[in-house]
Amino acid sequence: MGEIMTYKHIVFDIDGTLIDTEYAILHSLQKTLEVTLNKKIEISKLTFALGIPGENALEKLGVDNISATLELWIENMNEFSDRINIFSGIDDVLKALTSSGYKLGIVTSKTKDEFIQDFYKLEINNYFDIVVCADDTEKHKPFPDPLIKYMELSRAEKHEILYIGDTEYDMNCARLSKIDFALAGWGVHTNKHIQATYYLKEPTDIFTILFSKRNKKNISDWLKWAMELQFIGQVGLTYSKDNFDIERFQRIREISAKILSNYTDYGVEKINDIFCNETGFQTPKIDTRAAIFNNDKILLVKELDGKWSLPGGWVDVNQSIYSNIIKEVKEEAGLNVIPKKIIAAQDRNKHNYPVYAYGICKVFILCENNGGKFETNIETIESEYFSMDNLPDLALEKNTVEQIKMCFASNNSDKWEALFD
């Protein structure tokens, strides 16, 4: 994810994101193949067809006359039109986004004819300014061409667009376009191999992203400038020999501390304790968090304030990331773990709120449980495994729902590549 800024364009996929077409698509395809291939294929073996162009699906099925079969498929879809519905909450979200001034668009694998047939009757097409269909580009998803076409038509910059979809095709289209991607969890068939900037549980989660980014923008410039002043002051004090220069650099640090105190929850004394006791070159702190799974449930520890987090903490000066996460999990959860791979390295202030007055690099690590049990300690009072659908009250300053979902996605993927920003 790039610098903190407000999105201006919210672009949606259709099937599995705006409307629930799974039943209609799969059953009409099954009926079509009974005619063209003279055999009835189980629905479970046709789910790959969700979210990709119909031509591609038929090609994968070994259909010879793709054009005629596609026409028959579209015709059979009419029989299941009563099973096509807008996902709950979508209409209200579209209405609110429009009234808030966002430009809405669609990038879909449907052809224009399919789009008109399936979408117009649901009466939400008027919300969208630009629609890019499969026949608008030579290459379709997962290639970047459809989103690039949207940028050409809308004259939007990449950082102004958030693309929301539910398939690996959507993910790759956004990734290759270098556009932020949000996974629509309410319609996703499987999140295996799907890596996203954001993981949405329900449509209204979109507002959490948009408004938190907007709030961060209001204070991020002042914090950025103040932190830069701290950096300049600290380096100046380290290398300056002239007494007058030393006084000036000291004053720069004092002014910076006051600015930071004004825009954060910390008092000047706390700011001075965090920054002004440091010497030398100022660098971000490192925080490690362990993702430990058991039967598709993730381990969380309950802290003294009653909120839950992934076990972890600051990397000590005499520890590596590998050794530190082993130490932290043992202290907070009582488990012996084997770190397996890095899930992500994130700039904390781009993902967690409230914004802190100093830089933190959060490293999420997938770990394997190698025995042990929880023991009472001075930092945590309980540990428990939770499913994604039953998360407790999280310590959001340490781990958000999106970050927990990211850990689940990594655990379910055989080819996960570490995320970083």
Beta bridge partners of 199: 183
Mean pLDDT of the chain: 86
CB 230 within 8 A of CB 256: yes
- pLDDT, tens only, 60-74: 888 888 888 988 988
Q: Answer with the residue of higher pLDDT: 219 or 232.
A: 232
Q: Please give the residue that has the higher pLDDT: either 241 or 1.
A: 241
Higher-pLDDT residue of 285 and 10 is: 10
Taking alpha carbons only, the member of 34, 36, 115 closest to residue 70 is: 36
Q: How confident is the model at residue 340 (pLDDT cuts 50, 70, 90)?
A: very high
**d(C-alpha 229, C-alpha 247), whole Å:** 14
What does the DSSP assignment read for 302-332? EETTS-EE-SEEEPPTT--HHHHHHHHHHHH
| pLDDT the model gives residue 5 | 43
Phi, psi of 227 (to 5 degrees): -65, -35
Confidence of residue 192 (pLDDT cuts 50, 70, 90): low
> Can you list the pairs that 368-371 forms with residues at least 24 positions away whose Cβ atoms lie under 8 Å?
368/292, 368/337, 368/338, 368/340, 369/292, 369/294, 369/299, 369/335, 369/336, 369/337, 370/335, 370/336, 370/337, 370/338, 371/335, 371/336
Higher pLDDT residue, 163 or 193? 163
What are the residues facing 106 on neighbouring strands?
12, 131
User: What is the per-residue burial (b if ≥16 Cβ within 10 Å, else e) of 255-269?
Assistant: ebbebbbebbebeee
pLDDT confidence of residue 263: 62
- Residue 236, burial from CB neighbour count under 10 angstroms (0-12, 13-18, 19+): middle
Pick from 232, 188, 151, 199: nearest CA to 13: 188
Task: Give the pLDDT confidence score for residue 4 in this predicted structure.
Answer: 38
pLDDT at 211: 66
Under the banding of pLDDT at 50, 70 and 90, the label for residue 308 is very high
- Taking 90 as the threshold, does the pLDDT of residue 204 lie above it? no
Sign of CA dihedral 267, 270, 274, 276: positive
Span 14-63, pLDDT tens digits: 988 999 888 988 999 999 998 888 889 998 888 888 767 788 889 888 88
How far is CA 287 from each of CA 100, 143, 374, rounded to the nearest angstrom? 36, 36, 22
**Is the model more confident about 193 or about 247?**
247
- When pLDDT is cut at 50, 70 and 90, the band that residue 2 belongs to is very low
d(CA 162, CA 106) in angstroms, rounded, equals: 11
386-415 pLDDT tens trace: 999 999 999 999 999 999 999 999 999 988
Q: In Å, how far are 34, 212, 232, 260, 268 from 225, measured between CA atoms?
A: 66, 20, 10, 9, 17
For residues 234 and 145, the model is more confident at 145
pLDDT in tens, 139-174: 999 999 999 999 999 999 999 999 999 988 899 999
Quick one: pLDDT at residue 273?
Answer: 59
Q: What does the pLDDT average to over 114-121?
A: 85
Terminal Cα distance for the chain, rounded: 6
Beta pairing, strands 335-347 & 19-20: unpaired
